[in-house]
Amino acid sequence: MKLHPREFTAEPNNPFANDQLGRRAQVTSFCQMLIGAEGHAVVSLDGPWGSGKTAFVKMCAAHLRSSEVQETRPVRVIEFNAWHQGHTGNPLVDLVSAISAEISDPSKRLIQTAIKLIAGGASQMIRAASGGALDLGALTDDKNQELTAAWEQTEQGRNEFQSQLGAAAKSDGLILLIDELDRCKPTYALELLSTVRHLFDVPGVIVVLAINRAELAHSVQSVYGPNFSADHYLRRFADLHVQLLRPTQPALIPLFQQLIGQAGESSLGYRGIWEMLSLVGEAQGCGLRDIQQAAHHYSAVIATYGTTPLRDPNNLRYSIAALIAFRALDRNSYQSMTKGQIDGFQAIAAVRQSLTPMGASQPSVADKDVKDLEAILFDFASITQLDINEFPPPDLKEDDFLREYQSAIGSDDGNPAEVFRTYKSWKDAMYWLSSPESVKAITIRIDMLSTA
């Protein structure tokens, strides 16, 4: 079983071959905007941790390099992963090195000019411009003269650098895609932003900053203090801010199929596994990495059963998927349920609240998936509250269920009659899984193999 996800790849001959989140339309629209931009521009692409920004950027690069784009609007594309390619600790050197890997001439002169800039104190000047890192008031007259001379030398070098960069971008234009900036050290991230702002402001150069702005704002505040207006500060570095759209539940279904298949566990042919797991994507703050972890979590739990023939493989897999989904949606309620601290109606109320967007009255996902999840959780929660001497659980009247259901969710929404019928059907099918010990055997596996 493979637990580490494969690295996402995108090739110019088929940029969207591995697009499992249905982002082709957003990528092509975004790229069309980039190649249609005139002059210079900096665009920030904002998405939370694990939202798939890196995959999005790689598909953008591949699409821009594809014959479909190059035959109509030739453009040079530079990819720069700030986390992996920040080798020297100096953003200017690292960025120019990435450019030189794609552009042979005049990149050599560009590198030489960048080195002169650094030797002339450009890094200090950039730091000063980005936040006043130099205490000018504390300098002596001699130091002021030295600084003035260095500034003039740096300004001359800056003009030379921009002239050479402009020559590289003049014919076809240049798009620089910068990723994973928010994972870098705060000082490196801020200096890179300032470098882009002060040195890459050249006609024909378009810069994309793929960032988690909330995390980058924390980096800014770690340098300038908790009361610093970090978000306002970051907005100065970009001309346009684009939000990465969150994938919908239907888009996650083929992704779970792919991830679980890659992990070596085949659940093909088993009813509803993917749909149930895709509810994980509705969790607050859920990102692509959380989805990957949920898929591997499911595969790892199934793997603990080895090659032993399972009594009811479909329903067992379905119940495991449901519990993993509930655990991702509401960790505290899941733990309370496994300890017998909440009943089935409280579990239903918790999952409905997790699946209902703010301001809405109904969950935003398929009704069947919600109904099945509620029925399974009601069964599990009811069993975990039993004492050994109380087995089997008492029979529940439909009228009592309907009344308690409406009371638990606090409205007339939902479909309690359908949930009750699903619960009864599930209970009859899973009669062999109707004791605290059998439920505990499953939840122990889930908690023991948790990925987070």
Residue 179 contacts residue 57 (beta carbons within 8 Å): yes
Query: Would you state the pLDDT for residue 42?
Result: 96
User: Are 313 and 229 members of one domain?
Assistant: no
Number of domains forming the structure of the chain: 2
Separation between Cα atoms, residue 63 and residue 13, nearest integer Å: 8
In a domain, 5, yes or no: no
Q: Please state which of the ranges 88-97, 139-148, 366-375 shows the lowest mean pLDDT.
A: 139-148
In a domain, 413, yes or no: yes
Is the pLDDT score of 182 beyond 70? yes
First to last CA, the chain: 18
Identify which of 64-73, 118-127, 134-143, 360-369 has the greatest average pLDDT.
64-73
Instruction: Quote the percentage of the chain above a pLDDT of 90.
Output: 26
Point out the domain boundary residue: 227, 243, 259: 243
Residue 338 contacts residue 295 (beta carbons within 8 Å): no
In CATH, what number is assigned to the domain containing residue 236? 3.40.50
User: In the predicted model, what is the mean pLDDT of the chain?
Assistant: 81
Q: Which domain holds residue 154?
A: 24-243
Higher pLDDT, 120 or 302: 302
Report, as an integer, the average pLDDT of 266-279. Answer: 73
Residues forming a β-bridge with 42? 207
Query: Would you state the pLDDT for residue 22?
Result: 84
User: Are 330 and 200 members of one domain?
Assistant: no
Report, as an integer, the average pLDDT of 116-124. Answer: 58
Q: Which of 164, 154, 162, 161 is nearest to 120 (CA)?
A: 154
Query: Would you state the pLDDT for residue 174?
Result: 93
Question: pLDDT of 314-341, one tens digit each?
Answer: 788 888 999 999 998 899 999 999 888 9
Q: Please state which of the ranges 102-111, 397-406, 411-420 shows the lowest mean pLDDT.
A: 102-111
Query: Would you state the pLDDT for residue 134?
Result: 42
- H-state helical runs in 263-342: 273-277, 288-303, 313-329, 331-338
Query: Would you state the pLDDT for residue 422?
Result: 86
Query: Would you state the pLDDT for residue 133?
Result: 44
